[in-house]
Amino acid sequence: MKTLLIDKETGLLTALMRMLPGAELPDHEHMLIEQTYVLEGHLVCPEGECKEGDFVWRPAGSRHKAWSPEGGLFLAMFQVPNKFFKSDAQTDMLAQDWDMAWGEALGYKALRGSASS
């Protein structure tokens, strides 16, 4: 992944993401909107397949897995943090424990509409 833009105030992230053939993104949830433009190859998820030149977006709260059987290059735009679900833990994209890293963060509370402490 090559980060092109990150706004620490809002969590906005724009990145070039290359997936090698057979690569998978595990089960994860986007806290806010996700947008992906397929530059090369294709990306598959349970809802379908995106090919070169396709643009797809998902609303806040979308949860899915994604994979690229033949590999691909994507322009990804979303707001961090994303929550990754594993059999024994919930983590962010840096594999940090979700609750420890984000559970009490003011930014996360704002994302979920909670009042700050």
In the predicted model, what is the mean pLDDT of residues 37-62? 93
Q: Which residue range(s) make up the domain with 99?
A: 2-107
Phi, psi of 99 (to 5 degrees): -65, -40
CATH number at residue 78: 2.60.120.10
Whether 49 maps to a domain, the answer reads yes
Query: Which H or E element spans position 64?
Result: strand 63-68
Provide the number of structural domains found in the chain: 1
What's the alpha-carbon Rg for the chain, to the nearest Å? Answer: 15
In the predicted model, what is the mean pLDDT of residues 18-23? 96
Q: Is residue 28 pLDDT above 70, yes or no?
A: yes
pLDDT of amino acid 13: 86
pLDDT of amino acid 114: 45
Whether 84 maps to a domain, the answer reads yes
Whether 117 maps to a domain, the answer reads no
Whether 29 maps to a domain, the answer reads yes
Whether 88 maps to a domain, the answer reads yes
Whether 21 maps to a domain, the answer reads yes
For residue 103, give both structure tokens: 């559970």
pTM above threshold 0.85: no
pLDDT of amino acid 78: 87
Split at pLDDT 50, 70, 90, the class of 99 is low
Whether 114 maps to a domain, the answer reads no
pLDDT of amino acid 12: 86
Whether 11 maps to a domain, the answer reads yes
pLDDT of amino acid 70: 95
In the predicted model, what is the mean pLDDT of residues 1-25? 89
In the predicted model, what is the mean pLDDT of residues 35-63? 93
